[in-house]
């Protein structure tokens, strides 16, 4: 990657998936990748930035850094923004925009107020250039700007996606307490499931873990067919974009190459919602949903991976009832899943004790602001099982 083509960028990631996110960015060609809090910084050329928008599964957003300038307060921010970019090229009054600000600087402690400063600088600049100004559009702007304040600097970035990348477009139905798609993809990545053994979710809800797992195994690019804000950038390279789209398309595997991917869901309405989502994702041939209590369901014969996001009491279910569910889950896993790997997302330590299994990995992640652990259990054959430890 030549120095002149180098772009500094940041991927905004779910908390706890920073390292997994770094690995994904690197695998897709990013350089100098370094984890930050809920984010990762990296370098890329334009082809790689396009590729990440099309193929990365873990980020919420990808921010392309356009300018950095010293900022000790309100006036610095206003003046710096006016000079930061060639606005004549990047923001014509016919375009709409939105501004988001993170971080603080002296006298700039409220992100809403800081964003107003940036907006004022932009529209004043436009009035000087054209005698007219852009409108702000918070929902579907043509240009989405992000300013980060901190350490005496302001960094101006462009958000290439427009809307959050976790919205893949297949999820019409919500189920109960659904996981965000990018978090689900990250959890699957952490299991190291390679798409060669069965994958089962015994409490599958709207099926997000299964869908993200299947899409990952099929190498289906989440961004193909989606409209991105970067397509409206002043330096958008249609040919390069097309090349990256073609490249993403040719990586895809055929659905018949996958092992069984199965979900159990006791609530018939939620099971139907999972089926709707699976259909919308084009995965009917890959994922089977069985309605019923997992206790009545059998697993595929050859060992694989169990993934599970059971209710944990913050949002649905009551703790005492849930204890019985976790006890059942532990017993079911020990009796039926010898030789399998179990990964369980827990937001409640006392409930996971009821599993009576000993976790070999505990990875902290945040699920919608709830502090959770992605727990790994290696399930041994009953004969070699040691005394249960909560
Ligand atoms: C937290 S939700 C799963 C959310 C899912 N990961 C998603 O993103 O949509 C837990 C699900 O487990 C289901 N469930 C609870 N007990 C069950 C049981 N014994 N057998 C099968 N499903 C069960 C609930 O109906 C609920 O839909």
pTM: 0.93
Residue to substitute in 203, 299, 365 for testing ligand 1 pocket (most ligand atoms within 8 angstroms of CB)? 203
Read off the pLDDT band of 5 (50, 70, 90). Answer: confident
Query: With 90 as the cut, is the pLDDT of residue 251 above it?
Result: no
User: How many CA within 13 A on the CB side of residue 128?
Assistant: 10
310 lines ligand 1 (CB under 6 A): yes
What confidence tens digit (pLDDT) does each residue in 152-176 have? 999 999 999 988 888 888 887 565 6
Q: Compute the distance between CA of residue 355 and CA of residue 288 in angstroms, rounded to an integer.
A: 26
Give the Å distance between the CA of 351 and the centre of ligand 1. 15
CATH code of the domain occupying 3-159? 3.30.2130.30
How far apart, in whole angstroms, are the C-alpha atoms of residue 390 and residue 387? 10
Specify the ligand 1 atom closest to the Cα of 201. 6
pLDDT in tens, 102-145: 999 999 999 999 999 999 999 999 999 999 999 999 988 999 99
pLDDT tier at 35 (50, 70, 90 boundaries)?
very high
Residue 384, token pair as written in the block: 């070699």
CA angle 270, 275, 281 (to 5 degrees): 125
> Token pair of 15, please?
């908390």
Q: Cβ neighbours of residue 292 under 8 Å, at least 6 residues apart?
A: 264, 265, 266
For the residues 200-212, what does the mean pLDDT come to?
Answer: 97
Query: For the segment 320-352, what is each residue's pLDDT rounded down to a tens digit?
Result: 889 999 999 999 999 999 999 999 999 988 899
- Check residue 162 and give its pLDDT: 81
Q: Where in the chain is the domain with CATH 3.30.2130.30?
A: 3-159
Output the CATH code of domain 181-218+253-384: 3.40.50.150
Q: Kindly report, as residue ranges, where domains of CATH 3.40.50.150 are found in the chain.
A: 181-218+253-384
Q: How far is the CA of 62 from the centre of ligand 1 (A)?
A: 32
Question: In Å, how far are 15, 207, 366 from 317, measured between CA atoms?
Answer: 25, 19, 19
Q: Is residue 388's pLDDT more than 60?
A: no
């Amino acid at each position: 990657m030549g120095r002149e083509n180098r772009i500094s960028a940041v991927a905004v990631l779910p908390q706890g998936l920073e390292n997994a996110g770094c690995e994904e960015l690197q695998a897709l060609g990013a350089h100098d990748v370094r984890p930050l809090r809920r984010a990762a910084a990296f370098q890329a050329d334009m082809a790689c930035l396009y590729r990440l928008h099309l193929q990365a599964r873990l980020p919420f957003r990808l921010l392309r850094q356009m300018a950095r300038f010293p900022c000790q307060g309100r006036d610095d921010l206003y003046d710096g923004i006016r000079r930061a970019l060639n606005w004549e090229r990047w923001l014509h009054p016919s375009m709409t925009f939105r501004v988001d600000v993170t971080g603080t600087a002296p006298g700039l402690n409220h992100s809403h107020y800081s964003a107003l400063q940036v907006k004022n600088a932009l529209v004043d600049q436009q009035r000087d250039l054209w005698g007219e100004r852009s409108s702000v559009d918070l929902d579907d702007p043509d240009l989405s700007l992000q300013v980060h304040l901190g350490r005496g600097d302001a960094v101006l970035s462009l958000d290439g996606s427009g809307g959050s990348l976790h919205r893949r477009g297949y999820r019409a139905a919500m189920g109960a307490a659904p996981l965000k798609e990018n978090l689900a993809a990250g959890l699957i990545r952490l299991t190291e499931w390679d798409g060669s053994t069965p994958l089962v979710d015994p409490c599958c809800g709207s099926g997000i873990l299964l869908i993200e797992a299947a899409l990952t195994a099929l190498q289906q690019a989440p961004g193909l067919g989606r409209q991105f804000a970067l397509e409206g950038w002043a330096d958008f390279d249609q040919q390069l974009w097309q090349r990256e789209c073609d490249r993403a398309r040719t990586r895809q595997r055929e659905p018949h190459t996958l092992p069984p991917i199965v979900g159990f869901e006791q609530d018939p309405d939620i099971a139907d919602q999972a089926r709707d989502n699976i259909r919308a994702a084009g995965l009917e041939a890959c994922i089977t949903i069985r309605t019923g209590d997992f206790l009545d369901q059998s697993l595929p014969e050859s060992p694989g991976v169990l993934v599970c996001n059971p209710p944990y009491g913050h949002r649905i279910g009551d703790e005492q009832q849930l204890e019985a569910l976790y006890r059942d889950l532990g017993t079911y896993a020990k009796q039926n899943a010898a030789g399998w790997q179990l990964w369980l997302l827990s937001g409640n330590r006392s409930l996971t004790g009821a599993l009576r299994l000993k976790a070999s990995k505990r990875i902290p992640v945040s699920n919608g602001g709830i502090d959770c652990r992605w727990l790994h259990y290696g399930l041994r054959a009953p004969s070699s099982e040691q005394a249960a430890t909560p």
